[in-house]
Amino acid sequence: MRRTTKASQPLKSKIDVPWDTTGVANAGSPQSMPLDQIVLPATQPRRYFDSEALKQLTESIKQHGILQPILVRPLDGEKHELVAGERRYRAAQGIGLKEVPVVIRQLDDNAAFQFALIENLLREDLNPIEETEGILQLLALKLGRSIEEIPPLLYRLQRLQNKASTVTHNVMGEVENDSTNNAISDDEGDIELSTHNVMGETETDNSGLNQEQPLNQDLKIVESVFEGLGLMTWESFVKNRLPLLNLPEDILDALREGSLEYTKARAIAQIQKLDERVDFLEQVIANNWSLSEIRQRIIEKKAAASTENTESNNYKERFTTATTKLRKSRIWSDPKKHKQIEKLLAQLETLTNVE
C-alpha cells in the first residue's frame, strides 16, 4: 500500500537539525566506504520495512546503483554509524555490494536521532503508527520532555486553544451587537483582556502562578515542528493520530505492517470481541474492502447481533409468562393433563441436559 500525500523530498525539511558544521569531516562531499565499516545504531525510529518496496529498491540499485548517498557519522576507530538511509543499506547488503557512497558528518547522539527521525517521517512509505510515534519522539526532543508527557501536553494545548477561540468568538459577537459610539474602542480592549484572562485562569498551578507563558512557548515549538514537517497541522495530529495509539494491538500490528489504512483501522476497532475482530480484519485485508464497505458490514453485524439478542430475550419473556400462568393453573389437579405435563417436563430436562 503506497501513500501519495506526503512530500517526496525527504531531506528538505524546514526543521533545523543542530549538527556541528565545523571540521573537515563535515564538508558533505560524497565518498565511497566499505559496507562492513557501517554499523546500525542501537535505536532506530523505523522498525518495519515493506518487503515488496525493499525488493523494488534492490532491483533499482542492481541496475542504477545507489543514487543518494547514505548519511553516516564517525565512531571510535574505523567504524561509522548509519544515520539516514537504512533501506539503501539493507538493499546493498542484500545484493552483496562491497562499497557504498556515503556522506560523513560529525553529529552528537541527539542531532543524529533528530535527523533520522525527520528523514524517516518525510518518506512516503512510512506507516501511520510509526509516523505518529516518530512525531511524538521528535516533539519530545524539541520540547525537552519525555515521550509520555507529550500527548497530555497536546491535549492541554488543544483545550486552551478551544477555550480561547470560544471566548474571542463570544466577545466579538458582543462587539457586533453594541451600537454605542464608544463600543469599538472599549470592546477591543475587552477582547484582548478576556482572552488573556481565560488563558491565565485555566492554566494556573497550585501556587496560583500563571502558566500561560510557558504553554505559549510550548505551542510555538509544536507549531514550528509541524510546519517544518509539512505533513499535517498539530490540531489534526491530536484529533486523528493520537487516538490511533489506543487501538487494539491486533489492529496496530496491521497498521505497522502497512496493510491497513488508519481510517479503516478506527472503523474496525468498533468490534469489541477479539476473535470476531481478528476474523473481520483478515477479511478486510484479503478482500481490500473500502471504508464504506467496512462500515456497512459492521452495521449489518450489529443488526444481526441485536436481532439475535432480541429473539433470545423474547423466548425468556415467553417462558417466564408461561411458568407464571402454570403455577396458578388448575391443570396440576387434572388427571387428564398429567401425561402432557410429564411429556413437556421431559423435553425441558432434555434441553437443559444438552447444554
Residue 337, pLDDT score: 80
Closest CA to 258 of 25, 50, 81, 26: 50
129 pLDDT band (50/70/90 cuts)? confident
Q: With H, G, I as helix, E, B as strand and everything else as coil, classify residue 80.
A: strand
* Residue found under cell 565499516: 37
Report the side by side order of strands in the sheet with 80-84: 31-34, 99-104, 70-74, 80-84, 38-39
On the question of pLDDT at 164 being above 80, the answer is no
Please, what is the Cα angle at 315 between 312 and 321, to 5 degrees? 145
Across-strand partners of 71? 84, 103
Task: Give the residue-averaged pLDDT of 326-348.
Answer: 80
Sequence length of the chain is 355
Q: Cα(126)–Cα(137) distance, rounded to whole angstroms?
A: 15
- N-to-C CA span, the chain: 47
pLDDT at residue 193 greater than cutoff 80: no
What is the average pLDDT across 76-91? 88
Amino acid letter at 345?
L
- pLDDT: is 93 or 313 the higher one? 93
Phi/psi at 70 (nearest 5 deg)? -85, 135
The pLDDT of residue 136 is 93
Q: State the cell numbers at 118.
A: 525527520
Q: Are 147 and 157 in contact (CB under 8 A)?
A: no
Query: In the chain, which residues fall in CATH 3.90.1530.10?
Result: 24-126
Burial 193-218 (b: 16+ CB within 10 A, else e): ebbeebbeeebeeeeeeeebeebeeb
353 alpha-carbon distance from chain centroid? 50
Name residues whose C-beta falls within 8 Å of residue 189's C-beta, 6 or more positions apart in sequence: none
Let me know: does 12 contact 98? Beta carbons within 8 Å: no
Cell of 99: 562499497
Task: Map grid coordinates 523505523 to a residue.
Answer: 46
Q: pLDDT category, 311, cuts 50, 70, 90?
A: low
277, 268 contact by CB (below 8 A) = yes
User: What number is the average pLDDT over the span 231-243?
Assistant: 91
Mean pLDDT of 340-350: 81
Tens digit of pLDDT for each residue in 147-163? 999 999 999 999 988 88
- Predicted confidence (pLDDT) per residue in 108-117, tens digit: 888 888 888 8
pLDDT number for residue 202: 43
Q: What pLDDT, on a 0 to 100 scale, did the predictor assign at position 154?
A: 95
For residue 222 the three cell numbers come to: 509544536
Residue holding cell 559496507?
35
State yes or no: pLDDT of 17 exceeds 50.
no
What is the per-residue pLDDT across 251-292, written as a single tens digit (0 to 9) for each? 988 888 878 888 898 899 989 889 999 999 999 999 999 999
Spell out the alpha helix ranges (H) of the chain: 51-64, 86-94, 109-121, 128-143, 150-177, 183-202, 212-229, 234-236, 249-256, 262-268, 274-287, 291-328, 338-354
Please say if the pLDDT value at position 23 is more than 80: no
Spatial separation of the C-alpha atoms in residues 102 and 93, rounded to whole Å: 15
H or E, element range at 232: none
- Among 7-21, 31-45, 51-65, 116-130, name the one with the lowest average pLDDT: 7-21
Q: For residues 124-152, give the mean pLDDT.
A: 87
Query: Could you confirm whether domain 24-126 is CATH 3.40.50.620?
Result: no
Residue 352 — pLDDT band, cuts 50, 70, 90? confident
Confidence of residue 28 (pLDDT cuts 50, 70, 90): low
